[in-house]
Structure 1
Amino acid sequence: MSQFTINLLFVGASFAVYIAIAIWALAGSTREFYVASAGVHPVANGMATAADWMSAASFISMAGMLAAGGYANSTFLMGWTGGFVLLAMLLAPYLRKFGKFTVPEFIGERFYSRGVRVVAVGCLIVASVTYVIGQMTGAGVAFSRFLEVSNDQGLLIAAIVVFFYAVLGGMKGITYTQVAQYVVLITAYTIPAVFISLQLTNNPIPPLGLFSTHVDSGMPLLQTLDGIVRDLGFRDYTADVSNRLNMVLFTLSLMLGTAGLPHVIIRFFTVPKVADARWSAGWALVFIAVLYLTAPAVAAMGKLNLLTTIYPDGTDQPALEYSERPDWIQTWETTGLIQIEDKNEDGRIQYYNDTPEFRDVAEARGWEGNELTFNNDILVLANPEIANLPGWVIGLIAAGGLAAALSTAAGLLLAISSSVSHDLIKGMINPSISEKGELRAARISMAVAIVVATWLGMNPPGFAAQVVALAFGIAAASIFPALIMGIFSKRVNSKGAMAGMLAGFFTTTIYIALYLGVFFIPGTAMLANGSETWLFGISPLSFGAVGALINFSVAYGVSLLTEEPPQEIQDLVESVRYPRGAGKAIDH
């Protein structure tokens, strides 16, 4: 059986399960569509939350980023995980106690203002749309590689599958589909990792294998990897970061952005009680930890496998001949994600850090420039092929990558559609709309959001990593502070909340636009020449934390200069923070 057939069987079987769940979970009311009737078991919700939260960035990109930057890129691990802890401890139980359907609805009612609700909807849509582009694009990349279709065709297939289970089932369909997707993605991620850990260290547990002895060299695996990358002119894999301020700010930006992204927050509206929201958060952390403890091992072992493929006899020996390159390199070359240029015309593949500091060593070895470039995102998807694992493992990783991308895309699309149908249409434009009409509007909004996300995936706005920076930065600078102040401060009023959100939103987006040039504005990248032009040396990827601080400061300053919130709002804040009675959440 060909590899293409195996891939098709695994991906097709997983899609059949998703669509069957959507048909079974057909939503018949707005309560089912928005919050699955608030009847999801905490364990199932924890699993669905884990799948919703672990996007294509976690499944596909994170190990690639760790492999490229080593310890310095561990900020992604710390930021995303820390953000979920913030969400679980400071937001989830209180938002569930409030008992609303959406994040803008909470912000609008807590700050007793339709204007604040509109601002929250705008921030939510911008953050969610920019984030969903990456998920749809990730699905297209996985399709183009494993099902041998074009990227655009892959995006269309992904959009059709999401349309079925998201538009038909809403939150109910998405929840139980995400349970299935978590099983698929975690199985796909851990099985290849176990195989590779056994091959390299004889230890079947990847997180332990990372700190075990490398079989071929007889040295600790990380020490072996450090030696190889050092010989090729790169910084040690375990080297410390050079800019600790940016490391702290970037980690904090990811934490606040993660806690402020609405597609994860709304998952905690789907359980019966406040206590269940806490249990859901705990179970989600357990399920997330399985992948996040495995990712550093996948990154280091994948990097080591790649380098020893190019230099099988050591970095001081001749590199791999191009004509003898393994099948996996040939396969990925056809996608354009691996490119090889024989600059010194010796028929071999030289890969090294082509910098002035290493040039003398390279010239002494007869190297005339780095000849191998590859997209870091291929590491997880190519790992089974690099390690010569069975074909069924490759099929499994294909299904897992698609599950990771589609699960988060569905959650983001639901957050967008519910904001449009519930917060804009029902909350402001037509408050008297019937439940049937609102459900129809929710489905139409979802369908439109899918079309827009697919189009943007096919025609990306010219930025890739910047999309994540923009999404997390906006969520950190606008949504997270409003939620925290709404729960823990009785003094912040509607004027302060609106001023803070607008200040955080615009300072963050303007800073990112100036330094990364992401808004189609000619000349906006004129400052994107390196860290020497950054304000106080702060990277645009880290500015979300600064935007959040500006939000907090402006909101409190304006609130102190204006009237206190009404007494009933202050009483409401206290009742949310200190629930009395049986603890059952307020029903909508």
Structure 2
Amino acid sequence: MTVLQWTATLVGLSFALYIGIAIWSRAHSTSEFYVAGKGVHPLANGMATAADWMSAASFISMAGIISFLGYDGSVYLMGWTGGYVLLALLLAPYLRKFGAFTVPDFVGERYYSQTARVVAVICAIFVSFTYVAGQMRGVGIVFSRFLEIDIVWGVVIGMGIVFFYAVLGGMKGITYTQVAQYCVLIFAYMVPAIFLSMLVTGIPIPQIGLGAADQETGTFLLDRLNGLHQELGFTAYTDGTKSTLDVLAITAALMVGTAGLPHVIIRFYTVPKVRDARISVGWALVFIALLYTAAPAVAVFARTNLLNTVTDQPYAEMPEWFTKWETTGLISYEDHNGDGLIQYVGPDAVDAAGAPVQNELTIDRDIM
């Protein structure tokens, strides 16, 4: 079987699994539809919460943004992970104890104010639409690459599939579907990460491989990447450009934003007891940490591979993955000097004579 056939088979089986679980666990009552009957085990709820959070934003874009931003990308790791600490300490147990189905219900009843309830509804809608926009783009990227179609059609197909099993199973169906989704997600992320780590550093644990020496040159991987960056006119990969205040502000905003996501908060209504809500957050942090600690390593491996693959190489000899991403419109090349070689450079790049070099390659940050 070809790689495409294997991919199609595995993707088809995973979707069949999701839809099968949604049908098996479909809701039979209002309580099951909205809060899964409040009978989900904390371990399963932790996995579902992790899958809920680590969807397109983390699975696709986390390594990409760290790969492009380098050290500055660490604020996203700190902010998004820290948000779950806020959830565990300040939100999850109290929301579960109160017993309302939605955050606006909680706010309205807690402050005895219909106005507060309306404000909470508006905030929830605004946050949801903002978040869904990013998630749907991620879905579009996956389907556009898999089916080799335009990203717009990828979004449409992805929305149709999600709509089907969400409406069919409600929160109960979604919960157990996301347990399976987490297993598929972490397997799909960690297996390439492990092989990349072994290929680049000889160490099978990506988190350790990030700080190890490159097998090819014997220099530390991050030192090598810093050198490549500076040679091509980029800022050194491990040099941060943000001020301390900027880092604190972004991290705080991400923490509060994570803690306030409606689709994450609703997860803590699905467990039997208040104590289980806290335990769910703990398990979610464990499951999220598996991916989040590997993401910086994947970012470094991918960035190093990209620079070595495309820099000053003939466009006609680019590997298959390059041309397939071009089909989706998420990679584009424009030969400004007509030499047929790809100049992928930063804003400070100059040639041997000291003249500025123009970048010829544009890469969407979500696909790194």
Once the two structures are superposed, the pairs formed by residues 142-161 of structure 1 within 5 Å of their partners are: 142-161=142-161
Q: Is 1:111 aligned with 2:111?
A: yes
The C-alpha deviation readout for 1:365-397, integer Å capped at 9, x for no partner, is 887411111112111xxxxxxxxxxxxxxxxxx
Question: TM-score, with normalisation over the residues of structure 1?
Answer: 0.61
- Deviation larger for 16-25 or 145-154: 145-154
CA 278–68 in structure 1, closer or farther in 2 if over 3 Å, else same: same
The C-alpha deviation readout for 1:81-137, integer Å capped at 9, x for no partner, is 011111111111111111111111110110112222122111101110121111122
Cα separation, 2, equivalents of 1:148 and 1:345: 28
Cα separation, 2, equivalents of 1:111 and 1:3: 57
The answer to whether the Cα contact below 8 Å between 2:148 and 2:328 also exists between their aligned partners in 1 is no
Q: Is 1:354 aligned with 2:343?
A: no
RMSD: 1.5
Q: Number of paired residues?
A: 368
Q: Counterpart of 2:216 in 1: which secondary structure?
A: coil
Cα separation, 2, equivalents of 1:57 and 1:77: 12
Once the two structures are superposed, the pairs formed by residues 94-493 of structure 1 within 5 Å of their partners are: 94-311=94-311, 319-355=312-348, 358=349, 361-362=350-351, 364=353, 368-379=357-368
Q: CA deviation at 1:310?
A: 2.3
Cα separation, 2, equivalents of 1:264 and 1:367: 48
Structure 2 counterpart of 1:6, which letter? Answer: W
Q: Counterpart of 2:213 in 1: which secondary structure?
A: coil
The answer to whether the Cα contact below 8 Å between 2:148 and 2:327 also exists between their aligned partners in 1 is no
Structure 1 counterpart of 2:343, which letter? Answer: Q
Cα separation, 1, equivalents of 2:356 and 2:57: 34
Cα separation, 2, equivalents of 1:321 and 1:26: 53
Structure 2 counterpart of 1:349, which letter? Answer: I
- The residue aligned with 1:32 is 32
- Deviation larger for 367-376 or 175-184: 367-376
Q: Counterpart of 2:294 in 1: which secondary structure?
A: helix
Q: CA deviation at 1:159?
A: 2.1
The C-alpha deviation readout for 1:150-186, integer Å capped at 9, x for no partner, is 3333223222221222112111001000001101111
The answer to whether the Cα contact below 8 Å between 1:140 and 1:155 also exists between their aligned partners in 2 is yes
The C-alpha deviation readout for 1:31-71, integer Å capped at 9, x for no partner, is 11111111000100000000011121111111111011100
Structure 1 counterpart of 2:185, which letter? Answer: L
Structure 2 counterpart of 1:327, which letter? Answer: E
Structure 1 counterpart of 2:38, which letter? Answer: A
Question: TM-score, with normalisation over the residues of structure 2?
Answer: 0.96
Q: Counterpart of 2:362 in 1: which secondary structure?
A: strand
Larger RCO, structure (CA 8 Å, separation 6 or more): 2
Cα separation, 2, equivalents of 1:333 and 1:112: 55
Structure 2 counterpart of 1:325, which letter? Answer: M
Q: CA deviation at 1:328?
A: 1.7
Q: Who wins on radius of gyration, i.e. which is larger?
A: 1
The answer to whether the Cα contact below 8 Å between 1:4 and 1:147 also exists between their aligned partners in 2 is no
- The residue aligned with 1:89 is 89
Structure 2 counterpart of 1:210, which letter? Answer: L
The C-alpha deviation readout for 1:563-585, integer Å capped at 9, x for no partner, is xxxxxxxxxxxxxxxxxxxxxxx
Structure 2 counterpart of 1:229, which letter? Answer: H
Q: CA deviation at 1:363?
A: 5.2
Cα separation, 2, equivalents of 1:369 and 1:149: 30
The C-alpha deviation readout for 1:501-531, integer Å capped at 9, x for no partner, is xxxxxxxxxxxxxxxxxxxxxxxxxxxxxxx
The answer to whether the Cα contact below 8 Å between 1:7 and 1:147 also exists between their aligned partners in 2 is no
Cα separation, 2, equivalents of 1:305 and 1:38: 47
Cα separation, 2, equivalents of 1:84 and 1:362: 47
Structure 2 counterpart of 1:54, which letter? Answer: M
Cα separation, 1, equivalents of 2:11 and 2:148: 13
- The residue aligned with 2:79 is 79
Cα separation, 2, equivalents of 1:3 and 1:370: 32
The C-alpha deviation readout for 1:243-285, integer Å capped at 9, x for no partner, is 2211110111001111111111110111111111111111111
Gaps of 5+ in 2: none
The answer to whether the Cα contact below 8 Å between 1:22 and 1:164 also exists between their aligned partners in 2 is no
Q: CA deviation at 1:242?
A: 3.7
Structure 2 counterpart of 1:123, which letter? Answer: C
% same residue: 60
- The residue aligned with 1:6 is 6
